[in-house]
Structure 1
Amino acid sequence: MKIFNKIRIVSAFILISIVSLSGCQKDLLDQQPLTDLSEGSFWSSEADAMLALTGIYNGSSVGNNGYNNELLILASMTDDSDYKNSKVGLIYSGYVVSSDGQVVGSIWQRAYRTIFKANYFLANIDKVKMDATKKAEVTAEAKFLRAYEYSLLAMYYGGVPLVKQVLSIEDSNNQVRNTLAEVTEFAKTELVAAAKDLPASRPDNQKGRILKAAALAVKGRLDLMDKKWADAVKTYKEIIDLNTHIIDPRYKAIFEERGENSKEIILSTNCIAGLYGNPQNQLGYHPDVYGGYQEDGALEELVSSYLMKDGLPIETSPLYDPANPFANRDPRIYATIFLPNYTVFNGVKFTTANSGIGKLVGATGYGWKKYVTEGYAGANNSSGDDIIHIRYAEVLLGYLEAKIENNEAITQALLDETINKVRGRAEVAMPNVTETDRTKLREIVRRERRIEFALERVIRYMDIRRWGIWFDVMEQQFHGMKLTDDPANYTASKVELTGKYRGHLMTINKKGTHKRGWALLPIPLTEIQLNPKLTQNPDY
């Protein structure tokens, strides 16, 4: 965060805070320097409380700016994206294993280190003499940061150990997994409590600290995941009634440094170029032709889901021209994806020849454009692009989905205040949705979520999991761009001979290579070795 991340913690607090359920190894303790502050004298002032709160933010899922391929690998666990060197069984292609430290281990360790810090903070904050309102607010922030980690742990791993207080090393290595319901209910209870003491907005000099809508939005995610539709309706309506957040008329700019003050952003990691920079956006996602790593490519399965400008699918719209497939599409496709033989970026056309096909095993002919900035001239490994976690668009679409699933009345007014606001932003201006049939509208909303949040962190992974379609959408042959109208005689690359994707590049084939239990991440092997009471998820 821009405020907190400038502070380096050099107190006894940071020494203790690394001893977590996931980090009890002796070598972790050996890596930390001794300090001249004692625990007994630390909790005495508001400044101490703010320093300790900073310690929770730093390294948490909210404050972490680290480059660990988390987004890359989780995107490869969906039907939207393919790793540049993909192959069946490779972790970067979404085949996670319990011994992986980049995603499986790092998410777990980050979460439990943050949880330990929050527990330690909450056990000591009452010692501090400070204004009661301020104390309630910082307590709410600590509760949020702990609950947010539990929400992610539940989403990724299912039921996990629910630790609510500081543990000794012996106790931490004897924890068992709580049920998924116990974890999500605890997180939701804490989020509701936190929301009561969090402000709806903050002055500029507090940018990056948690807002009321963030606590409620995370609860809304959990309500959807738990299929508590009535609760989700109530939670999302509470955010809407704050009248604090809006749908930004822009789209592409929201994901760049120039859009970091957008009122659509509810939760983000604030990055400062050169100081606490974003190491991924301007390096990992730029296609090779523009000087980047081109780590992932969008799949045709995602590209084909973008509607035409008239609001119809490519299969039925009279605007669709197979000879010019990217003309007259939903404008979000141009903001999100490098389109072959169509996109011009920094004065250079992105073409079949320079897209990576024939050079990179997993190249699809498409690239990620959402996170890169045209004309960017700074350090590629340290940009100022904030890392967005939650936007107001998610609130509106979640509210509508919950209304549908809760069998509530679907009116045009409801559509206009939710999905049509999202589609109607000035830079997108897609036709209004008028469908009120519940079954048809469900599919419209699901497609809208896929398009609006394409390649955004955990959303697609979360959605296909909670909709119960993860296994079905992952068990398929995936495709890239169309290469030929004569596939029978095309030999430069392997292409589809028949069907919907006739003539399209055949990328990774995941048929028969997945198990249903893999919808969850495995419990890290290192944790099971430390604590044999931890049971592994199915199929690992």
Structure 2
Amino acid sequence: MKTFIRNISTIAILSGVLLASCKKEFLNTKPLNQASAELTWADPNLSEAFVTELYNGLHDAGLNQENMDCITDNALYNFGKQNIMEGNISPDNLGWVNNTYEWNEMYARIRSANLALEQLAKSKLDKTLVDRLTGEAHFMRAYFYNQMLRYYGGVPLVKATYALNTPDFTIARNTYAECVDFIVSELDAASTLLQGKDLGKGRATSDAALALKARVLMYAASDLHDPVKLKTISTLSGYAHPEYLGYTTSDHDARWKKAQDAALVILAKSGTYGYALNLSAPATAADGFTNYQNSYLSRNGGEKEILFARYFSNSKDEWGAWYGRNNCTNGYHGWTSSEPTQNMVDDYEMMDGSKFDWNNAAQKADPYTNRDPRFYASVLYDGAPWKPRTPDGAGIDPYNEIQMGTYQTGSSGSPVAYFGLDTRNGPIENWNGTRTGYAIRKFMDPNPAIVDQNTRSEVPSPLIRYTEIVFNYVEACIELGQETEARNWLNKIRFRSGMPAITDAGAALKERYRNERNVEMMFEEQRFYDARRWMIAPTTLGNKVRIMKITATLKAGKSVSVYRHSTDNYNYTYTVQELDPGVENRTWKDRVYFMPISRDEINKNNKLVQNPGY
């Protein structure tokens, strides 16, 4: 009996030990869906994966359904008015904020970059890998801070991660100058660490860092951040903290010289970058069209334009890969989301370099003929040739031409009204047709085999391209009075697109440059900032949206059964009018030069000072 009891006691004790052991192991179970910090930074693949995740902060880059040009005079968003364009934004109503500028999103990415830099600084992994990952983390941190700087002005520079025992999580805004200096120093560090590193597509490089530095310094030299120019805007002039908006001392030439020198570093790499910029005379119109299309598709030599880009793959379901479906016309089952305005279309010159003029009777009667080749490569307009229609549209339009108007079929004596396939009254879909009379073609894959509504695209979104740096250099030359050099480089861009040389000087040269930059870089996230930093927003972004209405009536004695664009059969009338204010009633308020910081952020951080006018 004693032996039995003793055995039970032994079993009980062992069971208790085993249960305690099991309980301890159960509580110490490691999660199966994530790696620990210790494991991440001890493993080269996991360390690289952590840094690679930083690039997700780019989101869809410029190929979002709603392009940044929709909050400029260049474009309109089809599905809802933009509060920013009506001046209705406030700390409590930010309106639409692209997620690559949103305060919380950017600081979350900055925190990840800070964490990577702290861990890599003590890493025992291979030095070559550590240097590369450190360089990429510096670049991405600089990129995210620059996104915030050009959107809000000076922001708090958080350079290290917070811990649970950090005594104070609040932090004041840094000055604009401090932010510029920090971003530049980050990019210099990134460029050094990434020098000679062989990186794949879409990753930061040494040259990308230098190119972003050129952009940062050009913005910093611009009028909006000059203390004298800033004071000319009443809403901004009385702001108690001008150091958050720009410099407090004026040094125009020195800052533009820095911007020019930074751009020259990239221009000196013309053997590595740049596409068809070595022409001594304008390309033909056909070649100009092809050159421009290659440059934005990054194909057939156009890939040399890319310094930094967001790439997409058909194998991965990402929103930017659906750019074709999101923005092609409803007659192709697209959504026509981001639409060029008539304001933008009017900026395209005639082939001889003269301005398009609605007071010119011949041009008014035929506005889509003999224009800058970039117009045809950028915009889908009435009568433009495009891809084969889907089966439900092929019988209605066997000619594969964009139909943006109201036409007649039947006979001239007994006409029947016909609404074009790509209008809001179209016979295929009528909820997503164009409001402006145009749709975007730029960044659309022209391959007829790609059916946009059910095929993902692999066209990359250029975040920094060589031509932008050329423009930056040209602008610096103009500001420094070096007009011959400015014209020389500006004409390289024009020759590539088939446009003649310019000979303008003074204020006319500056205006010509600004128009050229806008036309060339349409839908590349430039106009939103250019109009502000040049301080021309009241006369550009504040303009009402102009749209196109097209009617075509059969000429006497003509009859057709299936509509096709034809000046032999039809008389066309092109009428420019303002967009219905119920859709969007644009106006300009000077406070929109800088975006509001959300009320939630102000409430969480009592050291934050709001931007002026809010």
| TM-score bracket for the superposition, by shorter chain length | 0.7 to 0.9
Mapped pair 1:535 → 2:609: yes
Mapped pair 1:305 → 2:379: no
Distance verdict in 2 for CA 1:378–1:504, change over 3 Å? closer
Q: Check conservation: 1:213, 1:239, Cα contact below 8 A.
A: yes
Where 1:226 maps in the other structure, the secondary structure is helix
Q: Check conservation: 1:476, 1:511, Cα contact below 8 A.
A: no
User: Aligned partners of 1:71 and 1:462: how far apart in 2?
Assistant: 19
Partner residue of 2:515 out of 447, 472, 476:
447
Counterpart in the other structure of 2:495: 424
Quote how far apart the aligned CAs of 1:261 are. Answer: 7.0
The answer to which of 510-519 and 232-241 deviates more is 510-519
Q: Check conservation: 1:338, 1:367, Cα contact below 8 A.
A: yes
Counterpart in the other structure of 2:528: 461
Provide TM-score, normalisation by structure 2.
0.71
Quote how far apart the aligned CAs of 1:454 are. Answer: 0.9
Q: Check conservation: 1:515, 1:539, Cα contact below 8 A.
A: no
Distance verdict in 2 for CA 1:162–1:294, change over 3 Å? same
Quote how far apart the aligned CAs of 1:193 are. Answer: 2.2
Distance verdict in 2 for CA 1:508–1:403, change over 3 Å? farther
Structure 1, gaps ≥5 residues long: 1-32, 486-500
Distance verdict in 2 for CA 1:93–1:337, change over 3 Å? farther
Counterpart in the other structure of 1:18: none
User: Aligned partners of 1:93 and 1:387: how far apart in 2?
Assistant: 28
**For residues 350-369 of structure 1, what are the structure 2 equivalents within 5 Å?**
350-351=402-403, 352=405, 353-356=420-423, 363-369=435-441
The answer to which of 303-312 and 176-185 deviates more is 176-185
Percent identity, aligned pairs only, is 29
Q: Check conservation: 2:117, 2:134, Cα contact below 8 A.
A: yes
Structure 2, gaps ≥5 residues long: 1-30, 222-254, 277-289, 389-398, 406-419, 553-572
Distance verdict in 2 for CA 1:362–1:334, change over 3 Å? closer
Q: Check conservation: 1:483, 1:505, Cα contact below 8 A.
A: no
Where 1:267 maps in the other structure, the secondary structure is strand
Where 2:365 maps in the other structure, the secondary structure is coil
Q: Check conservation: 1:73, 1:92, Cα contact below 8 A.
A: no
The answer to which of 326-335 and 218-227 deviates more is 218-227
User: Aligned partners of 1:439 and 1:70: how far apart in 2?
Assistant: 35
User: Aligned partners of 2:305 and 2:129: how far apart in 1?
Assistant: 26
Where 2:363 maps in the other structure, the secondary structure is coil
Counterpart in the other structure of 2:463: 389
User: Aligned partners of 1:379 and 1:291: how far apart in 2?
Assistant: 6
Distance verdict in 2 for CA 1:72–1:446, change over 3 Å? same
**For residues 39-58 of structure 1, what are the structure 2 equivalents within 5 Å?**
39-57=37-55
User: Aligned partners of 1:255 and 1:105: how far apart in 2?
Assistant: 23
User: Aligned partners of 2:41 and 2:586: how far apart in 1?
Assistant: 57
**For residues 28-177 of structure 1, what are the structure 2 equivalents within 5 Å?**
37-57=35-55, 59-61=56-58, 64-65=59-60, 72=66, 74-87=68-81, 90=83, 96=89, 98=91, 99-100=93-94, 103=97, 107-168=102-163, 173-177=169-173
Provide TM-score, normalisation by structure 1.
0.80
Counterpart in the other structure of 1:28: none
Partner residue of 2:472 out of 378, 393, 398:
398
Distance verdict in 2 for CA 1:354–1:461, change over 3 Å? same
Distance verdict in 2 for CA 1:132–1:522, change over 3 Å? same
Quote how far apart the aligned CAs of 1:100 are. Answer: 4.9
Where 1:356 maps in the other structure, the secondary structure is coil
Distance verdict in 2 for CA 1:172–1:387, change over 3 Å? farther
Q: Check conservation: 2:328, 2:452, Cα contact below 8 A.
A: no
Where 1:82 maps in the other structure, the secondary structure is strand
Distance verdict in 2 for CA 1:410–1:73, change over 3 Å? closer
User: Aligned partners of 2:34 and 2:421: how far apart in 1?
Assistant: 57
RMSD of aligned alpha carbons: 3.3
User: Aligned partners of 2:510 and 2:53: how far apart in 1?
Assistant: 42
Counterpart in the other structure of 1:348: 400
Quote how far apart the aligned CAs of 1:309 are. Answer: 0.9
**For residues 136-535 of structure 1, what are the structure 2 equivalents within 5 Å?**
136-168=131-163, 173-199=169-195, 202=198, 206-227=200-221, 228-243=255-270, 244-248=272-276, 250-256=291-297, 258=299, 262-275=303-316, 277=318, 278-315=320-357, 321-346=363-388, 347-351=399-403, 352=405, 353-356=420-423, 363-374=435-446, 375=448, 376-377=450-451, 380=454, 382-407=456-481, 409-411=482-484, 415-416=487-488, 418-425=489-496, 428-435=497-504, 437-456=505-524, 458-483=525-550, 503-507=575-579, 509=581, 513-535=587-609
User: Aligned partners of 1:95 and 1:350: how far apart in 2?
Assistant: 35
Q: Check conservation: 1:161, 1:178, Cα contact below 8 A.
A: yes
User: Aligned partners of 1:251 and 1:56: how far apart in 2?
Assistant: 31
User: Aligned partners of 1:114 and 1:172: how far apart in 2?
Assistant: 21
Distance verdict in 2 for CA 1:109–1:193, change over 3 Å? same
Distance verdict in 2 for CA 1:45–1:34, change over 3 Å? closer
Quote how far apart the aligned CAs of 1:440 are. Answer: 1.9
Q: Check conservation: 1:282, 1:380, Cα contact below 8 A.
A: no
Where 2:476 maps in the other structure, the secondary structure is helix
Q: Check conservation: 2:477, 2:483, Cα contact below 8 A.
A: yes
User: Aligned partners of 2:501 and 2:194: how far apart in 1?
Assistant: 35
Give 1:177's aligned amino acid. Answer: R
Q: Check conservation: 2:69, 2:522, Cα contact below 8 A.
A: no
User: Aligned partners of 2:196 and 2:486: how far apart in 1?
Assistant: 24
Q: Check conservation: 1:364, 1:480, Cα contact below 8 A.
A: yes
User: Aligned partners of 2:301 and 2:96: how far apart in 1?
Assistant: 27
Distance verdict in 2 for CA 1:355–1:179, change over 3 Å? farther
Where 2:97 maps in the other structure, the secondary structure is helix
The answer to which of 527-536 and 286-295 deviates more is 527-536
Give 2:499's aligned amino acid. Answer: M
User: Aligned partners of 1:530 and 1:423: how far apart in 2?
Assistant: 50
Distance verdict in 2 for CA 1:95–1:198, change over 3 Å? farther
Quote how far apart the aligned CAs of 1:176 are. Answer: 2.3
Quote how far apart the aligned CAs of 1:252 are. Answer: 1.7
Q: Check conservation: 1:173, 1:530, Cα contact below 8 A.
A: no
Q: Check conservation: 2:321, 2:458, Cα contact below 8 A.
A: no
